[in-house]
């Protein structure tokens, strides 16, 4: 009798976990479709009946949303200033490249 009870209990837990996973997948899908809008806007869409209930738990786990909330530090003021025209030149250089050009260049 205990064996049957534990099997039914495991199935019940499995169905709860499966529903929870589906809820999280649905939340992720809708958040991607709506360009990662915030939790308050999603709740507003739910109140207006435009969206089914969404699991709010996903918002704390979404990597895109977490990185979007991060702020960048301001640039440090450059102490070196040019005194003459073209006295200081910045250039982007890429290389060395694995494949060499026809003329033998491995940078650009």
- Tell me what pLDDT residue 41 has: 86
Q: Which two tokens stand for residue 104?
A: 């033998």
- Tell me what pLDDT residue 24 has: 52
- Tell me what pLDDT residue 11 has: 52
- Tell me what pLDDT residue 25 has: 63
Return averaged pLDDT per consecutive 10 residues of the chain, 108 residues in all.
Answer: 47 46 64 80 85 71 75 73 86 80 80
Which helix (H) or strand (E) segment holds residue 20: the answer is helix 2-33
Cα–Cα distance, 73 to 98 (Å, whole number): 34
């Amino acid at each position: 009798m205990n064996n049957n009870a534990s099997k039914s209990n495991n199935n019940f837990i499995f169905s709860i976990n499966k529903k929870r996973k589906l809820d999280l997948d649905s939340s992720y899908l809708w958040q991607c479709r709506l360009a990662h809008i915030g939790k308050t806007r999603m709740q507003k869409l739910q109140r207006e009946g435009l969206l089914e209930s969404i699991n709010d738990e996903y918002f704390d786990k979404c990597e895109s949303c977490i990185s979007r909330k991060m702020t960048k530090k301001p640039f440090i003021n450059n102490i070196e200033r040019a005194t003459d025209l073209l006295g200081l030149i910045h250039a982007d250089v890429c290389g060395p490249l694995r494949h060499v050009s026809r003329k033998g260049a491995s940078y650009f």
